[in-house]
């Protein structure tokens, strides 16, 4: 089936996505420039040195430290993800994937939501794995549910949340339940698309010498194929980790968090603030519970939950990584739905549960 | 099926081009960049600056990542060298193939350059300022409240407590007689917090759970005669006793310093919760 034209909804999604991205980038750039000027000002006042250059140097050093912190951490887990993906590509046949996974949407969604329990990956690792599974024939809802749920629904993250919050049932249970619910709703929504597979992007083939139809024979040849795939995928996805880490480090260096945190008491605004903070900070889901703990004394439980549920699904580098897997219209649907559902659920909890 | 659908994107017209001579070098550049990232990670591990970026428990993982990336780079180079340059009939699949214009080339150069060229700098006063430490006397001071829940009050020997242990132990009940008047010796860096009374500095440290992006600043005010000429980010060993003061209507424990010794920044400047 050759399909060179976008369908009308796709074109619309693309049009909106293009404009929104440009507007958001422009706004963010203006905002950052303002804060940069303010930060330099504060820092020169602070160090009692009149040198703007010295202040800029210190800010650049801070930016570098935060950028490398995110990048180094993410590179390790991205590498694990692309190795898993390359092993699947070379050693698992599409027939086996198709035999093992349920065909119907509900079953595929359920399996996808819980697959992280045996396939523990965080957000950097889940994207290559989910993409590979879908291209091997796993249903789209399975891939989407896995992509969104696996960073939370895995033993490491559940344990660290439990430890950080002392087994608080509202936070630990709420995080698990809300993540599964939101991932499942988004997966089912995308599954409603009459040709869900057209939402996927092709995997760019940066590996020159191999053939999809006939997998390499012999163990050494297969191993070579694994390294080629892993290298190509690390390269392709690594660039989005770099961009995401750069934006996050810029925001962290120049946007004073106390201004955001001062809004902690309001049941609606606090949710928005912690969701924004989660997207900006781009921290790994295995430790975000400890960071959220830091907000627990000033923020309502709903806002904390929003941070813990929304953050692992949507942050700057994760959204950039999504664009390697889905067409822009599908990424837009995922981001909008995740934002809306997290916000509504968290606000409801703030207002009704406390 | 999807493997044969072509995306409608501007670079579709490259689709059927055979790789040009210069494009045959791209896999080599790609391998060099991947190897470069691996090398950068290993350099950080070897020269001991990795703890400025990620929690020390990840050091073995990062070292392994560096080694695997180097091996990947070598494998790609070897594969490239052995591959028959004419043997690529599979042009249906080269959509999205790397070109010299790919942003990935520049993007992956960034961490290598920043990692190897920029002198390693621990989170310090500049990061504290970005986190709004100036205005409120430290967001971290407030945020660490809750860490106190999980921290143990029964550490065996208060003389071995870190700044974080002391902050945890004094945050809820700064006037608890069990801590007031206790001898204290801790290390930290100077943060000239403008909300403190004249002559005091904030002795601060960053608490990192995973990587530098999640660092929280904590601190205790230090009262001493000789704090006036101390610059931000100067590391100190402070010994004295625990005292009490009221600031903005809130009681807080402070360090009544008997001696301030300038020290080198520790090899592991962050504390771990």
pLDDT tens digits, one per residue of B143-194: 333 334 444 444 556 778 888 888 877 877 788 887 888 889 999 999 888 7
Segment B197-212 shows an average pLDDT of 87
* Nearest Cβ partner for B273 among A166, A205, A290: A290
A45: exposed, middle or buried (Cβ count in 10 Å: 0-12, 13-18, 19+): middle
Residues of A in contact with B83 (CB under 8 A): 208-209
Residues of B in contact with A54 (CB under 8 A): none
Bridge partner list, B260: B238
Residues of B in contact with A42 (CB under 8 A): 129, 134
A246-289 pLDDT per residue, tens = 877 887 787 766 666 677 778 888 899 889 888 877 777 766 77
**Rounded to whole angstroms, how far apart are CA atoms A232 and A83?**
11
Quickly list DSSP for A13-31.
HHHHHHHHHHHHHHHHHHH
| Cβ contact, residue pair A205, B93, below 8 Å | yes
What's B197's DSSP letter?
P
Cβ-count burial B116-155 (b if 16+ within 10 Å, e if not)? eebebbbbbbbbbbbbbbbebbbbbbbbbbbbbeebeeee
A346 CA: distance to closest CA in chain B (Å) = 21
Give yes or no for residue B32 having a pLDDT over 90: yes
| Cβ contact, residue pair A239, B107, below 8 Å | yes
Residues of A in contact with B133 (CB under 8 A): 258
| Cβ contact, residue pair B103, A239, below 8 Å | yes
**Rounded to whole angstroms, how far apart are CA atoms A229 and A81?**
12
Interface test with A, best of B44, B129, B134, B233 (most A CBs within 10 A): B129
Interface test with A, best of B75, B95, B109, B210 (most A CBs within 10 A): B210
Task: Please answer whether residues B127 and B215 qualify as being in contact, where contact means their C-beta atoms are separated by less than 8 angstroms.
Answer: yes
Q: Would you state the pLDDT for residue B15?
A: 45
Any chain A CB within 8 A of the CB of B98?
Answer: yes
Q: Would you state the pLDDT for residue B13?
A: 41
Question: How close are the terminal C-alpha atoms of chain A, in Å?
Answer: 53
Q: Is the ipTM of this complex over 0.90?
A: no
Longest CA span, chain B: 82
Question: Average pLDDT over chain A, rounded to whole?
Answer: 80
| Cβ contact, residue pair A205, B120, below 8 Å | no
Count the helix, strand and coil residues of chain A and give each as a percent rounded to the nearest 5: 75, 0, 25
B137 CA: distance to closest CA in chain A (Å) = 10
Any chain A CB within 8 A of the CB of B23?
Answer: no
| Cβ contact, residue pair A198, B2, below 8 Å | yes
A263 CA: distance to closest CA in chain B (Å) = 13
Cβ within 8 Å of A, B 153-172: none
Q: Which residues of chain A have pLDDT under 50?
A: 1-4, 50, 208-214
Q: Which distant-in-sequence residues (6+ apart) come within 8 Å of B242 by Cβ?
A: B166, B170, B179, B180, B181, B182, B184, B253, B254, B255, B256
| Cβ contact, residue pair A64, B50, below 8 Å | no
A207 CA: distance to closest CA in chain B (Å) = 8
Q: Would you state the pLDDT for residue A332?
A: 92
Any chain A CB within 8 A of the CB of B228?
Answer: no
What CATH code is assigned to B125-262?
2.40.50.140
The Cβ-side half-sphere exposure at A23, using a 13 Å CA radius, reads: 6
Chain B, nearest residue to A202 by Cα? B3
| Cβ contact, residue pair B107, A238, below 8 Å | yes
Q: Would you state the pLDDT for residue A46?
A: 52
A43 CA: distance to closest CA in chain B (Å) = 7
B225: exposed, middle or buried (Cβ count in 10 Å: 0-12, 13-18, 19+): exposed
A143-194 pLDDT per residue, tens = 999 999 998 998 878 887 887 787 889 999 999 999 999 999 999 999 888 8
| Cβ contact, residue pair B192, A46, below 8 Å | yes
What's B94's DSSP letter?
-
Give yes or no for residue B129 having a pLDDT over 80: no
Interface test with B, best of A76, A156, A299 (most B CBs within 10 A): A76
| Cβ contact, residue pair B145, A297, below 8 Å | yes
Chain B, nearest residue to A237 by Cα? B104
Give yes or no for residue B5 having a pLDDT over 60: no
Chain A, nearest residue to B110 by Cα? A242
Q: Would you state the pLDDT for residue A334?
A: 93
| Cβ contact, residue pair A224, B119, below 8 Å | no
Q: B201 vs B6, which has greater pLDDT? A: B201
Return the structure tokens found at A341. Answer: 């559902």
B53-84 pLDDT per residue, tens = 999 989 999 999 999 999 999 998 888 777 65
Residues of B in contact with A60 (CB under 8 A): 118
| Cβ contact, residue pair A242, B110, below 8 Å | yes
Any chain A CB within 8 A of the CB of B4?
Answer: yes
Angle between helices A52-91 and B26-46 (to 10 degrees): 120
**Rounded to whole angstroms, how far apart are CA atoms B262 and B259?**
10
B66 CA: distance to closest CA in chain A (Å) = 8
Q: B46 vs B218, which has greater pLDDT? A: B46
B124 CA: distance to closest CA in chain A (Å) = 8
Hey, where are the domains in chain A? 54-202+211-352
Interface test with A, best of B58, B111, B228, B271 (most A CBs within 10 A): B111
Chain A, nearest residue to B42 by Cα? A72
Q: A19 vs B17, which has greater pLDDT? A: A19
Locate CATH 2.40.50.140 in chain B. Answer: 125-262
Three-state DSSP at A284 gives coil
Size of interface A-B (CB pairs under 8 A): 262
Give yes or no for residue B39 having a pLDDT over 70: yes
């Amino acid at each position: 089936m050759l399909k060179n034209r976008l369908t009308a909804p796709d074109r619309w999604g693309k049009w909106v996505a293009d404009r929104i991205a440009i507007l958001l980038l422009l706004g963010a750039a203006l905002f950052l420039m303002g804060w940069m000027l303010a930060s330099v000002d504060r820092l020169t006042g602070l160090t009692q040195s009149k040198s703007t250059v010295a202040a800029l140097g210190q800010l650049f050093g801070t930016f570098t430290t935060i950028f490398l912190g995110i990048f180094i951490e993410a590179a390790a887990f991205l590498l694990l993800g692309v190795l898993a993906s390359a092993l699947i590509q070379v050693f698992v046949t599409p027939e086996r994937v198709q035999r093992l996974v349920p065909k119907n949407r509900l079953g595929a969604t359920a399996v996808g939501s819980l697959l992280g329990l045996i396939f523990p990956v965080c957000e950097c690792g889940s994207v290559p794995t989910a993409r590979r599974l879908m291209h091997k024939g796993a249903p789209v809802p399975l891939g989407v549910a896995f992509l969104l749920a696996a960073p939370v629904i895995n033993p490491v993250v559940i344990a660290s949340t439990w430890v950080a919050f002392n087994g608080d049932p509202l936070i630990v249970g709420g995080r698990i339940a809300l993540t599964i619910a939101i991932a499942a709703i988004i997966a089912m929504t995308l599954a409603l698309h009459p040709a869900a597979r057209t939402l996927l992007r092709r995997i760019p083939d940066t590996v020159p010498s191999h053939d999809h139809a006939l997998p390499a024979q012999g163990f050494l040849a297969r191993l070579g194929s694994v390294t080629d795939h892993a290298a190509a995928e690390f390269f392709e996805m690594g660039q989005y980790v770099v961009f995401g880490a750069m934006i996050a480090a810029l925001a962290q260096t120049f946007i004073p968090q106390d201004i955001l945190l001062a809004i902690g008491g309001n049941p609606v605004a606090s949710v928005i603030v912690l969701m924004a903070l989660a997207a900006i900070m781009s921290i790994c889901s295995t430790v975000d519970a400890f960071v959220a703990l830091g907000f627990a004394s000033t923020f309502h439980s709903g806002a904390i939950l929003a941070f813990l549920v929304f953050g692992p699904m949507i942050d700057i580098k994760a959204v950039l990584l999504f664009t390697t897997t889905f067409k822009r219209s599908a990424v837009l649907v995922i981001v909008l739905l995740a934002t809306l559902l997290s916000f509504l659920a968290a606000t409801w909890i703030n207002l009704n549960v406390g | 099926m999807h493997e044969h659908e072509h995306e409608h994107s501007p670079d579709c017209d490259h689709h059927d081009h055979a790789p040009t001579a210069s494009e045959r070098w791209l896999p080599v550049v790609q391998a060099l960049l991947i190897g470069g990232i691996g090398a950068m990670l290993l350099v950080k591990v070897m020269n001991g600056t990795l703890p400025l970026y990620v929690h020390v428990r990840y050091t073995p993982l990062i070292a392994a990542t560096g080694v695997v990336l180097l091996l990947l780079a070598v494998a790609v180079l070897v594969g490239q060298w052995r591959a028959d340059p004419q043997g690529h009939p599979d042009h249906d699949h080269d959509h999205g193939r790397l070109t010299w214009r790919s942003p990935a080339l520049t993007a992956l150069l960034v961490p290598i350059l920043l990692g190897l060229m920029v002198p390693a700098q621990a989170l310090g006063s500049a990061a504290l300022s970005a986190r709004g430490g100036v205005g409120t006397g430290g967001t971290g001071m407030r945020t660490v409240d809750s860490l106190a829940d999980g921290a143990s009050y029964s550490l065996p020997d208060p003389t071995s407590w870190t700044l974080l242990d002391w902050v945890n132990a004094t945050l809820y009940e700064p006037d608890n007689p069990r801590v007031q008047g206790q001898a204290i010796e801790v290390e930290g860096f100077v943060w000239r917090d403008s909300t403190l009374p004249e002559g005091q500095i904030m002795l601060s440290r960053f608490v990192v759970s995973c990587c530098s992006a999640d660092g929280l600043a904590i601190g205790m005010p230090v009262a001493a005669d000789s704090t006036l000429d101390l610059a931000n980010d100067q590391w100190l060993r402070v010994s004295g006793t625990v005292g009490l003061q009221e600031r903005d209507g809130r009681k807080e424990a402070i360090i009544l310093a008997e001696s301030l010794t300038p020290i080198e920044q520790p090899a592991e400047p962050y504390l771990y919760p």
